[in-house]
Structure 1
Amino acid sequence: MTLPEALLLFLAGFGSGAANAIAGGGTFLTFGAMTLVGLPPIVANATSSITQFPGYVTSALAYRVEIRRDGVTAAKLAVISALGGLLGAVILLSLSNPSFRAMVPWLLLAATAIFAAGPWLKPRPRGAHAPVGPLGLVAQFVTAIYGGFFGAGMGIMMLAVLGLATGSDYHRLNAIKNFLAMVIAGVAILVFAGGNVVGWPQALVMIPGGALGGWSGVWLARRVPQAVIRALVVAIGLALTGYYFTTG
């Protein structure tokens, strides 16, 4: 790894942490940067899960009071999410790099569309604290499979699924979402590490950048409109989609 590559990875980690703190979409930056420095698509995707994980942990800790208050629902969904994340990660490892590479532009296009639609997918506060029914559990299982397999746009998908399943207020759902994202990423990391598909040197460069970006993102969130950050992330997602479609 050259010094310019290390700098690119650190900046991508920083931008990812900041974007996730403000509007989400950090995976676009980490995955894109790692493929640009030459990591195979599966390794780049697996390593991206590593770099995102610390942010999920700190977000879950910030919501620990809300999560404890909703402990039964969170625990039930965590089991479902762990199983789905495990399945998604195993499916990823069963593919060859060329096979996954062929899927990447379509995955990026879908994730970009989901992320762009985020403001319309967020649940409307209705005040109810309804339990998650069977359909909600199935939908979360499918979302967790996607999260373990690829992950970009997973947070928005979970907010939409949980909102439709429970009709609860946004902050309750966001707390559960952050906790479940941590569970899904944690399980996927164990599978990827066991499968020897993690670029550890790249991850070690990006993680400090992500931590610093996450801290700075709180400062930026008070000064930069989320719409501006969202538009930038969507532009990056579309650029990456175009790149992978045209270089296939």
Structure 2
Amino acid sequence: MTLLSALMLFVSGFVAGSINAVAGGGTFITFGAMTLIGIPPISANATSSISQFPGYITSTLAYWTDIKRMWRGGLLLAFVSIVGALAGSLILLALDNPSFRAIVPWLLLGATALFAVGPWLKPKGEAHRERPLVGAVIQFITAVYGGFFGAGMGIMMLATLGLTETGDYHKLNALKNMLSIVVAAVAIIVFASGGVVTWLAAVIMVPAVALGGYFGVWSAKRVPQLAVRIFVIAVGLFLTVYYFF
């Protein structure tokens, strides 16, 4: 890896951490940077999951008081998340890079569209009624997607939890953060066991993501979220066109 490539990965990690703290969507940045310097898409996807993992932990700790009150109710969702993430990550490992590369533009297009409409998908107020079995099925599908390709998983999960769980936005966001740890942890174990992680890239990006997350909290009060969202959507569309052509 050249010094320029390492610098690009560090900057992308920092930007991703900052964006996640403000609006979400940092996976687009890290995945895109790795593919642009020549890392195969499967390895880029797996390594991006690892680089984002510390952010899931810190965001969950921020909701620790809420999670202590509701973790028992989330056990079923955590279990199906484990099964779904395992299925999704194993499906990814079953593909070769050319096959995954053919799917990537469609995944990016869908994730970008999901990110673009994210503000309208966020639950507002109380959900009508709790539907645990329906919620478990939907969470399983979301976890399969998250294990296979993590971009947009948080937005998707927050939207689906709002349809099947009771509680205000903060409770649902806390539950989403906790389940994201479960999905990401399973995917990381599978990817590491499958030997598809580019560890040098992960080592470069993890501290950069952490620093970016700290900076993002500061910048969240100064940078309009709309500007950040437009930037992330533009990156997603650029990567979509890049992989299509």
**Structure 2: tracts of 5 or more residues without a match:** none
Structure 2 SS opposite 1:73: coil
Residue deviations 1:137-164, cap 9 Å, x none?
Answer: 1011000000000010000000110001
Contact kept in structure 1, 2:31 and 2:44, CA below 8 Å = yes
Q: Which amino acid aligns with 2:49?
A: S
Structure 1 residues 143-152 or 222-231, which shifts more?
A: 222-231
The corresponding residue for 1:61 is 61
The corresponding residue for 1:72 is 72
Give how far 1:65 is off.
0.8
**Structure 1: tracts of 5 or more residues without a match:** none
Structure 1 SS opposite 2:126: coil
Separation in 1 of the partners of 2:195 and 2:86? 16
Contact kept in structure 1, 2:127 and 2:162, CA below 8 Å = no
Q: Which amino acid aligns with 1:63?
A: Y
The corresponding residue for 1:44 is 44
User: Which residues of 2 match residues 150-161 of structure 1 at below 5 A?
Assistant: 150-161=149-160
Contact kept in structure 2, 1:73 and 1:131, CA below 8 Å = no
Contact kept in structure 2, 1:124 and 1:167, CA below 8 Å = no
The corresponding residue for 1:236 is 235
Separation in 2 of the partners of 1:153 and 1:81? 16
Residue deviations 1:76-135, cap 9 Å, x none?
Answer: 21111111111100000000110000000000000000000000000011277x544211
Contact kept in structure 2, 1:163 and 1:173, CA below 8 Å = yes
Separation in 1 of the partners of 2:27 and 2:127? 31
Q: Which amino acid aligns with 2:83?
A: L
Structure 2 SS opposite 1:146: helix
Separation in 2 of the partners of 1:55 and 1:223? 21
- Judged with a 3 Å threshold, the aligned counterparts in structure 2 of structure 1 residues 152 and 127 are, in CA distance, closer, same or farther, namely closer
The corresponding residue for 1:225 is 224
Normalising by structure 1, report the TM-score: 0.96
Separation in 1 of the partners of 2:200 and 2:165? 42
Separation in 2 of the partners of 1:120 and 1:73? 26
The corresponding residue for 1:5 is 5
Normalising by structure 2, report the TM-score: 0.98
The corresponding residue for 2:207 is 208
User: Which residues of 2 match residues 107-122 of structure 1 at below 5 A?
Assistant: 107-122=107-122
Structure 2 SS opposite 1:72: coil
Contact kept in structure 1, 2:130 and 2:166, CA below 8 Å = no
Separation in 2 of the partners of 1:132 and 1:212? 39
Separation in 1 of the partners of 2:74 and 2:19? 25
Contact kept in structure 1, 2:116 and 2:229, CA below 8 Å = yes
CA RMSD across the alignment: 1.1
- Judged with a 3 Å threshold, the aligned counterparts in structure 2 of structure 1 residues 40 and 174 are, in CA distance, closer, same or farther, namely same
Separation in 2 of the partners of 1:79 and 1:126? 24
1:84 and 2:88 correspond: no
The corresponding residue for 2:172 is 173
Give how far 1:168 is off.
2.4
Structure 1 residues 49-58 or 159-168, which shifts more?
A: 159-168
- Judged with a 3 Å threshold, the aligned counterparts in structure 2 of structure 1 residues 127 and 84 are, in CA distance, closer, same or farther, namely closer
Separation in 2 of the partners of 1:12 and 1:69? 36
Q: Which amino acid aligns with 2:115?
A: F
> Percent of aligned positions with the same letter in both sequences?
62
Contact kept in structure 2, 1:125 and 1:167, CA below 8 Å = no
1:193 and 2:204 correspond: no
Separation in 2 of the partners of 1:198 and 1:9? 15
